[in-house]
Every structure is written in structure tokens, then in C-alpha cells.
């Protein structure tokens, strides 16, 4: 079996080392064949952006020997050698604008020395202009910029500093449009797409590939690529897990597939999680654990973001871009990979956004719950809670729930019914019961529904009584849609009191 390229982001190292490579060169050819392409591509972290840029670099350096056996080897591509300016902003750890400018100047001078060019200008943007101009004397320049947004994202918790970083990057990128005549190919990649009023205010000539149907599978692993390229690994894992191939593929799809980057795009697997899966032969939260989104969680709590509305329907303007001094969480969650496109409605021109897969949903919601508690919910608590509901033991179930709510940090509790409902939703989603929050009926919304061996309909009152909550269920006949299923239906009115679940009242309704 070819070795797995875990952590390898250099195309030359990957090819010379005989590592497994999923051939994306036909898609790449569609980009590079244009005589003067200028592009932008946003994808989540660890999705292969750096390897893509490294591949493009080798193509434009004319190193055809590295592509032996790949689709592009036999394509009608000239393999003309161009000077390449490649900047990787993931390498910088600038704490302020001065450090960021020093990093840029250092990188530009390193590239200049590589091509025996002397830079005379002192300003970082003037040096960039000078470098492009001098390199393009013989051939047009190829410019590849990786993680352009990292200097900004690193400081999103400090809006003032993030804006300062944005202005430095904005000044740097201003150079690109004025040098269009000197540029053979340009690609910027990053996690985020900031609004055109920000970093991209002078880059409106870039073609955005982020939601382009033709390039939806440029990064990531398709189902066909998984079964073809990892066939030997699937055989090995299948024997170890004692699952037939179809059952194993179904489980892998459930855990790691589901990312979609356009209206009609092909769903793809998270490449980082997939590689680690076959390396360890174990289902884990591989991608999530490499970068805990602490800032996102803080913003979700701070902005009282309603995760219960996921999956959600939005139009394209609602998630295509955002700005550092006006953070909108839906586009932020989409671009960072915690939400993805699941469907597109042509008639209403709306997208359905949802968690990509089991890995992301389970890990993300569990992380939120942990942040809302001072003590982690123990497996014993979870097991007891599941057992109580399966045995219709509501008294013990509510006792376990009260213990969980008692662990919530006093400082982050919000005196809103929605907040407690969110905690309730998180708990039951994570223990694997079927729960639907705010289920719509023709007469209103049910706060929460649990469907298992029995059906439980919950209505909560923060400023009201348990009797009023129960009466709301009955008067609006929330139970009607669950009749004729042959299951017991429990109508439960509950109070939130003293920052915890208070008293409740139960009425059994035989469906």
C-alpha cells in the first residue's frame, strides 16, 4: 500500500516519496489553461489548500517529471517556466502590524534572492510592486498566496487589532490589481471571505471559486476517489473491524462525508479525517481535535446564537462574506467548516445549511456543552439518563437533568427560556435520542420532542407554571401529529426556576 501523506503539504515531497496522491490535476488543468487567470478560493482548515498551491507551483516551474502518471501529463499544457511568488501567511505569528510587515518584507526578500533580484524599495507594498515588475521582465509572474486571512483571524477576539491587520493586508493586496498585465496566474486561498468593503475592496477582479459548481470537488475526497484510491486500506480496515466493505463504507460516510461547496456540487469527505482514519483504523474526531474553535464558541454564547435553528434556510447573501468589525456567525460557521450546504431550492433561491457529518456535529455540540458547564457530563450521567427515558422513569430522568443544569457556570447563565431550551437540546442530541426542538405544527411550536420507544412532548416556562405549560400542549393539540403510531405519548409541562429545572407535571396520552 502506498504510504498515506499525513501532514505532507509539499507536492514534490509527496511524489518523490511515493505517497498516495488523489489525482486532482484535471480540475487543476481547467484553472491553469487560461492565459491569465486570477482566482480566490475559500475552504476550511486542513482541507488541502497548501498542497494545491504547492502543486500549482510545480506546474508553473515546468517540473513535468513530477506529474508522471497523472491526468495532466498527457494534456495539451505548455509546461512553460514562470517565476513564482508564493507567500504562506500560516507561517506568521505576528502579534502586531509591525511584526506582520517585517514578516512580509522578509518573505519578499527571500523570494527576490532566489531569483537574483535586488529590492530597493523600503515599504512592504512598494517592495511587492518592485518584485513583480522585475520578475516579469522575461516571463509573466505566478502569484500564490496561502492563508491570506490568518493574520486577521488570529486576532478576531480583539476587533481593533484585527482591523489593523486587515488594513496592512488590504494595502498589500492593492498592488495586485495594478499589476494585472505582469501576472500569468494568481490564486489566493484562505478560510474566510471577508466582504468587499474590507480586504477585497481592491480585488474585485478575482474570480471566486468558493461556490463554483465546476470546482466543488477540487479539494476533498469524493466517494469514487475513496473507494478507488483507498481500496487496500478499506480491505485492511474491514478485516480488523469485522465489517463487510459496504457496512464499513456506510459508517465512514456517516462520520466524515457531507461537505458540499456549491448549489449542485459533489459531496466530499474531509481529507484530513479520512487520512487519519485509515492511518489509525479508528473512528475519532480527527479534524475537530486539531483546532478547537474556542473563539467560535465564545461568539455563539456572547451573541446568543440559536443553534437549535440548525439546519437553516438562508439566501446566498446571508453567508457569502462577513467583516471583522461586524462578525456574522452563520457565514463564519460555514466558511470554517462547521456548517455546509446540504440543499439548494431553485424556486426560492435558498440554501439549506447543516452540520456536514457526525464527526462535526457530535464534537461541536459536545464542545459547546462543555463550555456551558463547570464539570463535564459523565458517561454515568448519560447512561442513567438514557436508561430512565427508555424505562419511562421520568422522576429519575429529571433528577439527572437537574444535576447537569446545576453544573452550568453561574456567570454564563442567561435568564431566557431559549437558553435553557438550548441546553436541553444539546444534552439529548449528544446522548443519541431523537430530539427535535421547536417542532412546527399548524398551531405553533413545540419546545422539544423526544421520539424513542415512547414519545415525549415538552413545553417549558421560565415565567410561568408547569400547569400553564401543560395546558399549552393540550390547547394547541401538539400531540395530534404523533397519534396512530402505537406509542405512548407523554405531555410534560416543566418550569425553569432558580437557574435549574423546577417542578414538572405529566399527562399520558395514548396514541
34 lies in the same domain as 173: yes
Q: Residue 312: CA atoms inside 13 Å, Cβ hemisphere, count?
A: 18
Contacts of 402 (CB under 8 A, 6+ apart): 500, 501
Q: Which of 180, 210, 240 is the last residue of a domain?
A: 210
The domain spanning residue 110 has which CATH number?
3.40.50
Q: Quick one: three-class SS letters along 130-189?
A: HHHHHHCCCCCEEEEEECCCHHHHCCCCCHHHHHHHHHHHHHHHHHHHHCHHHEEEEEEE
Cell numbers that stand for 284 in this block: 475519532
What pLDDT score does 413 carry? 53
185 lies in the same domain as 158: yes
How many Å apart are CA 170 and CA 163, to the nearest integer?
A: 10
Tens digit of each residue's pLDDT, the chain (511 residues): 999 999 999 999 999 999 999 999 999 999 999 888 899 999 999 999 999 999 999 999 999 999 999 999 999 999 999 999 999 999 998 999 999 999 999 999 999 999 999 999 999 999 999 999 999 998 999 999 999 999 998 898 898 999 999 999 988 988 988 888 999 999 999 988 776 556 666 677 789 999 999 999 999 999 999 999 999 999 999 999 999 999 999 999 999 999 999 999 999 999 999 999 999 999 999 998 776 667 787 788 778 788 888 889 998 877 766 677 777 889 889 988 999 999 999 999 999 999 999 999 988 888 887 776 645 555 667 778 888 888 888 899 888 888 877 766 555 555 566 667 777 778 777 776 667 766 766 666 788 888 888 889 989 888 889 999 999 999 998 888 888 888 889 999 998 887 778 889 999 886 5
pTM of the model: 0.86
In a domain, 2, yes or no: no
Q: Which of 353, 371, 389 is the last residue of a domain?
A: 371
Number of domains in the chain: 3
Concatenate the DSSP letters of all residues of 395-413 into one string.
HHHHHHHHHHHHTB-GGG-
Residue position matching grid coordinates 497523472: 70
What domain range is 136 assigned to? Answer: 11-210
Cell numbers that stand for 223 in this block: 466517494
Cell numbers that stand for 393 in this block: 422513569
What pLDDT score does 258 carry? 96
Contacts of 154 (CB under 8 A, 6+ apart): 93, 94, 165
Query: What phi and psi values does residue 510 have, to the nearest 5 degrees?
Result: -85, 115
In a domain, 3, yes or no: no
In a domain, 1, yes or no: no
**Residue 11 per-residue DSSP state:** H
How many Å apart are CA 166 and CA 168, to the nearest integer?
A: 5
83 lies in the same domain as 202: yes
Which is nearest to 192 in space by CA: 351, 39, 341, 44? 44
Amino acid at each position: 500500500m502506498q504510504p498515506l501523506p499525513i501532514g505532507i503539504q509539499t507536492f514534490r515531497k509527496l511524489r518523490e516519496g511515493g505517497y498516495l496522491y488523489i489525482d486532482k490535476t484535471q480540475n487543476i488543468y481547467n484553472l491553469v489553461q487560461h492565459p491569465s487567470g486570477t482566482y480566490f478560493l475559500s475552504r476550511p482548515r486542513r482541507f488541502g489548500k497548501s498542497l494545491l498551491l504547492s502543486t500549482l507551483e510545480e506546474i508553473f516551474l515546468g517540473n513535468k517529471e513530477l506529474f508522471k502518471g497523472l491526468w495532466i501529463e498527457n494534456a495539451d499544457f505548455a509546461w512553460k517556466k514562470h517565476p513564482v511568488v508564493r507567500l504562506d501567511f500560516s507561517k506568521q505569528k505576528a502579534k502586531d502590524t509591525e511584526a506582520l510587515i517585517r514578516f512580509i518584507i522578509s518573505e519578499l526578500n527571500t523570494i527576490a534572492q532566489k531569483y537574483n533580484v535586488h529590492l530597493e524599495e523600503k515599504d512592504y507594498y512598494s517592495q511587492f510592486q518592485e518584485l513583480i515588475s522585475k520578475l516579469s521582465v522575461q516571463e509573466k509572474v505566478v502569484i500564490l498566496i496561502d492563508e491570506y486571512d490568518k493574520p486577521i483571524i488570529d486576532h478576531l477576539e480583539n476587533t481593533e487589532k484585527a482591523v489593523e491587520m486587515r488594513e496592512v493586508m488590504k494595502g498589500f493586496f492593492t498592488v495586485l490589481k495594478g499589476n494585472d498585465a505582469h501576472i500569468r496566474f494568481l490564486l489566493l486561498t484562505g478560510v474566510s471571505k471577508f466582504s468587499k468593503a474590507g480586504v477585497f475592496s481592491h480585488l474585485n477582479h478575482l474570480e471566486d471559486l468558493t461556490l463554483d459548481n465546476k470546482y466543488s470537488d477540487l479539494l476533498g475526497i469524493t466517494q469514487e476517489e475513496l473507494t478507488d484510491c483507498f481500496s487496500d486500506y478499506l480491505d485492511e480496515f474491514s478485516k480488523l473491524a469485522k465489517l463487510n466493505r459496504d457496512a464499513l463504507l456506510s459508517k465512514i460516510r456517516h462520520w466524515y462525508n457531507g461537505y458540499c461547496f456549491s448549489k449542485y456540487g459533489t459531496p466530499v469527505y474531509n481529507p484530513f479525517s479520512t487520512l487519519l482514519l485509515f492511518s489509525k483504523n479508528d473512528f475519532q474526531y480527527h479534524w475537530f481535535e486539531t483546532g478547537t474553535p474556542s473563539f467560535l464558541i465564545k461568539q455563539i454564547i456572547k451573541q446568543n446564537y440559536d443553534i437549535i435553528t440548525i439546519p437553516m434556510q438562508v439566501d446566498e447573501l446571508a453567508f457569502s462574506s462577513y467583516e471583522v468589525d461586524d462578525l456574522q456567525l452563520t457565514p463564519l460557521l460555514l466558511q470554517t467548516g462547521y456548517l455546509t450546504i446540504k440543499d439548494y431550492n431553485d424556486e426560492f433561491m435558498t440554501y439549506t445549511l447543516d452540520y456536514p457529518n457526525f464527526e462535526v456535529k457530535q464534537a461541536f455540540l459536545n464542545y459547546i456543552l462543555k463550555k456551558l458547564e463547570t464539570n463535564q457530563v459523565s458517561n454515568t450521567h448519560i447512561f442513567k439518563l438514557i436508561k430512565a427515558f427508555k424505562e419511562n422513569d421520568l422522576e429519575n430522568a429529571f433528577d439527572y437533568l437537574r444535576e447537569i443544569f446545576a453544573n452550568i457556570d453561574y456567570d454564563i447563565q442567561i435568564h431566557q427560556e431559549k437558553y435553557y431550551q438550548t441546553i436541553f437540546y444539546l444534552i439529548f442530541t449528544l446522548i443519541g435520542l431523537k430530539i427535535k426542538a421547536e417542532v412546527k405544527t399548524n398551531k405553533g411550536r413545540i419546545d422539544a420532542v423526544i421520539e424513542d420507544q415512547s414519545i415525549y412532548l415538552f413545553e417549558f416556562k421560565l415565567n410561568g407554571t408547569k400547569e400553564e405549560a401543560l395546558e399549552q400542549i393540550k390547547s394547541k393539540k401538539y400531540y395530534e401529529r404523533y397519534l396512530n403510531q402505537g406509542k405512548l405519548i407523554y405531555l410534560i409541562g416543566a418550569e425553569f426556576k432558580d437557574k435549574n429545572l423546577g417542578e414538572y407535571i405529566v399527562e399520558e396520552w395514548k396514541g
